[in-house]
């Protein structure tokens, strides 16, 4: 663990108040996250040292770029679980997915059952949009997911810059039953000042349901370690109704 000073009081930097990281790219060689099992284990060990007890890996499912499925994701999960057991590392690991809400996802939902989809816990599902433009299928997909008995969680809404000047869109998604997951790296300023400001505004409006690392590589780990030394993180999140622990 890292140690740091809040004023003159020495405090241990400990993210165990979250217990569960529900957004990460730690499975090896499957998307733009960890490239091999060595890197997977390096990142997993670092997250354990920061206080996490459970990690849910969420590889991208993104049409032609990362055409993942249960058949590609679950074997990688077992590979990582075996490495964790061999290393004697005391941490739980599961796998879900981060679904891009595009035309392929819309087609998938047209014929999907609940069991076809990889979920966070029993009934939450992580979805994302392009950073370039909002998905025309998003509200339709929210409705279809809820018909299947699933609760959609929008990944890193603060990073969709097209909503920064239309904050009511976030409120509308919440009203439609979509939960919001902010990246810890956004609070560190690692994605730029506008993203940081949007993330903080979501917190100040009591709209954040989950905090995730969105861990891909060492750069994200550096952001996370730096943030864990900032009193502002604990001040900002102390009154939030974060639901990470419900996925434990």
Domain ranges of the chain: 19-247
Is pTM beyond 0.85? Reply is yes
**Does residue 10 register a pLDDT over 60?**
no
Percent of the chain scoring above 90 in pLDDT: 91
CB distance 215 to 46 below 8 Å: no
pLDDT at 36 over 70: yes
The strand pairing partners of 99, in sequence order, are 61, 127
Question: How deeply is 165 buried, as exposed, middle or buried, from its count of CB atoms within 10 A (0-12, 13-18, 19+)?
Answer: exposed
Q: Is residue 3 pLDDT above 50, yes or no? A: no
What digits encode the pLDDT tens for the residues 171-186?
999 999 999 999 999 9
C-alpha span between 244 and 4 (Å, rounded): 24
DSSP 38-51: HHHHHHHHHHHHTT
SS3 call for 210: strand
For the chain, the average pLDDT equals 94
pLDDT tens digits along 193-236: 999 999 999 999 999 999 999 999 999 999 999 999 899 999 99
Q: How much is the pLDDT for 166?
A: 95
Contacts of 185 (CB under 8 A, 6+ apart): 191, 213, 214, 220, 223, 224, 227
User: DSSP of 26-42, one letter per residue?
Assistant: -STTSSSS--SHHHHHH
19-247 has CATH 3.30.200.20 classification: no
Q: What is the pLDDT of residue 229?
A: 87
pLDDT tens digits along 100-135: 999 999 999 999 899 999 999 999 999 999 999 999
């Amino acid at each position: 663990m890292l140690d740091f000073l809040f004023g003159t009081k020495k405090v241990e930097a400990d993210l165990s108040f979250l217990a569960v990281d529900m957004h990460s790219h730690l499975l090896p060689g499957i998307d733009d996250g960890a490239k091999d099992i060595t890197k997977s284990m390096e990142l997993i060990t670092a997250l354990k040292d920061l206080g996490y007890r459970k990690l849910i890996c969420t590889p991208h499912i993104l049409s032609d770029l990362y055409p993942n499925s249960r058949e590609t994701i679950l074997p990688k999960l077992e590979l990582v679980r075996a490495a964790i057991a061999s290393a004697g590392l005391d941490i739980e690991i599961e796998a879900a997915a981060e679904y891009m809400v595009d035309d392929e996802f819309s087609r998938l939902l047209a014929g999907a059952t609940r069991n076809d989809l990889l979920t966070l816990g029993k009934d939450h599902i992580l979805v994302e949009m392009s950073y370039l433009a909002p998905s025309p299928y998003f509200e339709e997909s929210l409705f279809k997911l809820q018909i299947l008995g699933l609760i959609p969680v929008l990944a890193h809404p603060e990073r969709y810059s097209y909503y920064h000047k239309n904050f009511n869109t976030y409120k509308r998604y919440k009203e439609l039953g979509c939960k919001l997951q902010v990246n810890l790296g956004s609070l560190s300023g690692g994605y730029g000042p506008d993203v940081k400001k949007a993330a903080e505004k979501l917190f100040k409006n009591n709209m954040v349901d989950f905090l995730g690392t969105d861990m891909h590589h060492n750069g994200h780990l550096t952001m996370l370690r730096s943030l864990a030394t900032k009193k502002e993180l604990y001040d900002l999140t102390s009154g939030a109704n974060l639901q990470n622990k419900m996925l434990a």
